[in-house]
Amino acid sequence: MFCRVIDNYGDIGVCWRLAQQLAGEHGLAVRLWVDDLAAFAGICHDIDPRRHTQIFAGIEIFRWQDPFDTAGETIEPGDLVIETFACHLPESFVEAMAKKPVPPVWINLDYLSAEAWVSGYHTLPSPHPRLPLTKFFFFPGFDETTGGLLREHHLDVHRQQFLDSTAQRTSFWRRLGFSMPENARNTPLLISLFAYENPALPMLLKRLEQRANSHAPIYCLAPMTRTQTDIEAFLGEPIQAGACYRRGALEIYTFSWIDQPDYDRLLWLCDINFVRGEDSFVRAQWAARPLVWQIYLQSDHAHRTKLDAFLDRYTALLDTKTGARLRRFHLAWNGFETLTAHCIDDWLGSLSELRQYAQEWQKNLSKQQDLCSALVYFYQSKAIMRG
């Protein structure tokens, strides 16, 4: 599997989850090539970004650098080669694939989209212009006509066990560096905030401060990522990891980035999850909590089409008023409209309906085959045909 890190934690986040599931649940020997091991170490703290090769969780991890350097090893392509997000394999590696007696099954794992055209392109072949190789496009998606979404087999069981265990929750808060009063008289609203730079964020925090002072307290859990400047603009002071910043009944907890298992736990615990890109976006859906998605910015506003496609699908079974409020907030959060206090209040006023709906959405998504299993099944079907 080959991964180029474009969106910091998103690309490697998807690849690392897939690699672990291929190895752990399907028993495949996996070699992962990554061009940015520092970003990788951000989501898996056991990775040493200084090493050219290493093994973790039974997976071989190689630094991918240009020109393609195999550290003196003769690299034979595997039976399955996964090119993630059109990252373009090294030419020498492609030529080695073509020299194998039985060419590998070559898959381009594409980005997730809810757009209608995806199902028509899922698993389509693309012959190499000069070598005896065929690449197949594999699209994640939200229904059975696509490859599905990444989901470990026991994910929902682990989520429920965590939520039912006071000891596990307490241990999680301790690792995060905080002690959270989960049984306070006036139960706080917990919000996780993982986003890109966003000029609407200070406005959101200001309104949350006002609401927290007149309603229940609000705790905003914010990793030290690209939101740092916007949070500092709201607070009027610099922030650092491991601190708590109070504005009335709004408390902002900042922390260093955590590994993937703990990020899942954060999503499970919070009442609302702000997410970005692809990996956190999918994990928030499995958390069965209301979510707000900041989509990755693309030129010519192509991301607006993708956002609308998801919102059309997600709100299809919501009542009209709640669906309209959710859409309006998403459009404002993504910069297509102005985020106002009224927009925020409408969205927060729909939280009860959104909580119930998030659980129904998660149950329905769980009925379809997970992405990793679908990918392995597709590989096996092609491998059998090739003898």
Distance from C-alpha of 138 to C-alpha of 120, rounded to nearest angstrom: 11
Q: Largest Cα–Cα distance in the chain?
A: 71
**Closest by Cα among 313, 350, 309, 302 to 329:** 350
Supply the residues annotated as catalytic.
11, 278
- The amino acid present at 385, given as its one-letter code, is M
User: What burial letters (b/e) apply to 129-168, b meaning 16+ CB within 10 Å?
Assistant: eeeebebbbbbbbbeeebbbbbbbeebeeebeebeeeeee
Residue given tokens 């039912």 in the structure block: 164
Question: How do the residues of the chain divide into helix, strand and coil, expressed in percent and rounded to 5?
Answer: 45, 15, 40
**Closest by Cα among 221, 219, 218 to 262:** 221
**Closest by Cα among 259, 255, 254, 286 to 273:** 286
Coil, helix or strand for 77? coil
Coil, helix or strand for 255? strand
Residue given tokens 């730079």 in the structure block: 197
| In 11-79, beta strands by DSSP E | 31-34, 53-56, 59-63
Which tokens go with 318? 């919501």
Distance set, CA 31 to CA 7, 13, 28, 100 (Å): 21, 16, 10, 18
Strands 134-138 and 125-127: antiparallel
